[in-house]
Structure 1
Amino acid sequence: MINTGDKLKCIQGNDVYLEGEIYTVGRIVNNKYFQILTSSNDDHWYATLDNEGIYVSFDSNTAQDNKARFDKLA
């Protein structure tokens, strides 16, 4: 279960989210989608919570996996 204000650690980074950094959950859309803030202001991307875990998927024209992945901190 994810709640607004939860802290997430980035375990696989990309150009937006840096591996090892801690990010905050923003507004909850539903039990599968929610915002992950990118900084101290209101910038965010929408994350998915499913059987793959927590991730933000970015469109990419390359074969490389361009998802940022996160673990929830206890």
Structure 2
Amino acid sequence: MKENSIHTEDKLICIQGNSYYSEGEVYTVGRIVNDKYFQLLTSGNDDHWYVTSDDQGIYVSFDTSTATNNKAFFDKIA
């Protein structure tokens, strides 16, 4: 993974929320899948969504009609 990349236990703040993630809330990074995908924990009981980190930023994308917006964006907390 490149320098300044995401690591397990890093904290991310939601900068653009949706039905699942709230703007301003802080979430914890779970297991790293590869240099583009990782888990973002949503609760204390191992619930998570997979996050993409690419040229668009750090985001969770939802292909569902239940999410008001289909993407939630995050920034890493330094």
TM-score w.r.t. length of structure 1: 0.91
Selected match of 2:56 from 52, 56, 61 = 52
Selected match of 1:69 from 61, 73, 76 = 73
TM-score w.r.t. length of structure 2: 0.87
Aligned mates of 1:49, 1:34 — CA distance in 2:
8
Selected match of 2:14 from 10, 32, 45 = 10
Structure 1 residues without counterparts, runs of 5 or longer: none
Aligned length: 73
Q: Residue 43 of structure 2 aligns with which residue? A: 39
Structure 1 runs (4+) greater than 3 angstroms displaced: none
Aligned mates of 2:69, 2:14 — CA distance in 1:
15
What displacement does 1:65 show? 4.3
Aligned mates of 2:43, 2:58 — CA distance in 1:
18
Map 1:19-38; keep pairs closer than 5 Å. Answer: 19-38=23-42
Taking only aligned residues, the RMSD between alpha carbons, in angstroms, comes to: 1.5
Q: Counterpart of 2:72 in 1: which secondary structure?
A: strand
Aligned mates of 1:51, 1:2 — CA distance in 2:
14
